[in-house]
Structure 1
């Protein structure tokens, strides 16, 4: 398994462009943004020559995660959600992946009137386009939510690749689990950072799981397999243990990290979420809830109230409180759960009146 430092890769490309600019000018700096490193390109080319299969993982669909105005830096966002809109090249529109809203790609900037935009980041559609340019004779099939909406499309894509009708299978995490193709000898991860950089205490664990799973798709026969992982965080401990296929080592390092910040399994987490269409009412309800909770539980065990990472989805503003019930003093989280239930009961009238939904999630799957 090889880890490719994409920061070093881009530095090298820029250095070469600087040298070339002395002879060809600004053209040397055009099209420097690539999702596929030189090493991965060489490895793919080698497998294509040998008629062997390649699986590529990019856990982000669409073409570009956001569009930015080159003049003022304004980024197009969904007006119903506090997230950027993803550009989809196949239909030439922007789409919100949370509420589903669609609108045309901008021709002029709504802030400054500028008309030049940059498409930033890499989705599966953009990687597919790059593969077509690099390997024009190769057949690439893409498997993500956009290509598997029709009944039977998922099976059709896998059958085509499995029978040798396609050389490269590119997709989101759909391609990471349960696939057994003896002809696959190369697995490439376009960006390991997508999951790893999320502000969730389980992000390293999920990254380790996903990369370990997708790495297992290569070399499932007598043919030797190889895995290339691209990242801008090559020294992250999750990648170190993925490379060494070291489950015990990852567990030991992750468990120390969890212990230092008192997250599961050393505590039970309770997330109280507040949602509503009136931002002020949501904030006031969350603040009132927090003030009462502070009188019942140790303040150090409470994070918030504060806006959620995804602070607005489908026209509803979101605030949250995170409670960490330390298992040393509250083994099953009973005291914390009773305190939360008591405050929920006390404020039920206020939340109903202000049209704020209060949701309590014990041991949540995610905290975004």
Structure 2
């Protein structure tokens, strides 16, 4: 605000215009009760409020409150234009500033100096950040059940936890991941995910493709469930290698992930014969024969998964870098970066800093125009325009502002 002291017996009281308040930021916060991104299908735009205008008597406007947007654990936020990672929100209560609010404009009291003791100008507020973002949900599970459709993953999860996934005898019964907590009885527990069935070509998006594969990136342990009885005339050995191939082609790092093989449906004919052949062909992985229906071998398998997860968690914690002493380096403010080009008869000055300056300058105020001209001169813009052939009366464009070049 532009204001002056107007008190009785205080002649020439001087400037007294306060600063504007800062705009609110848009902040994502992890909410424990959320499980999907469905709410964002119906509301796609979020805008924090602007700060209040400055007031007289050196009173600053109030800062606007930040806008908190709730997201489920496991949300990944990426820039929609560059695809750069902005935030990976995994912990309950974790926050990330997605778009910063703009700085409040300065009142005329901030521009008083020895040469101009009563400046008749004030800044407009700085524009807040505007971003288009992509949200992706990746489940947070310790171990993930992977395998072809109808091999018994959902049945296994329903047996070892309180989860109740849909179970039927047709392909792709599981269309979205299910989570279950497995309690081992020795005060240990872990989260097990039943992930949608995998088919050949999933890394290219076929079938449920990426809908399946993205959820295994966070799991510490992969549990391959194989129909060892080959009830649908499948080859258990070929299925195992196909799954391995799809995982590697989607993300090469998954090949190094710790893995177990669960030979399911061992209560059916031909299962033991197929298992013997499988052991001869596949020797680089632990194999646990079970029957999810009769629950044979389930306890041993869950205990082994719990032991492996303990080891993996300890290894993960050991690899965390220790805190280091912070060192603060101070540097001079960088010079204004700009580029001068010519578009027909118009000289265009390209600069993010100058575009922001144009937005924050009130060109109806004489002192504000003088300040803008001084910044252009001191930053070398005038000299660069002359070097590029600008003459008296030529049209200059900076951001949305056009004006004549005047010597």
TM-score range for the pair, normalised by the shorter chain length: under 0.3
Comparing both chains, which one has the higher relative contact order based on Cα–Cα distances under 8 Å and sequence gaps of 6 or more?
1
User: TM (normalized to structure 2)?
Assistant: 0.21
Greater Rg by CA: 2
Structure with greater helix percent: 1
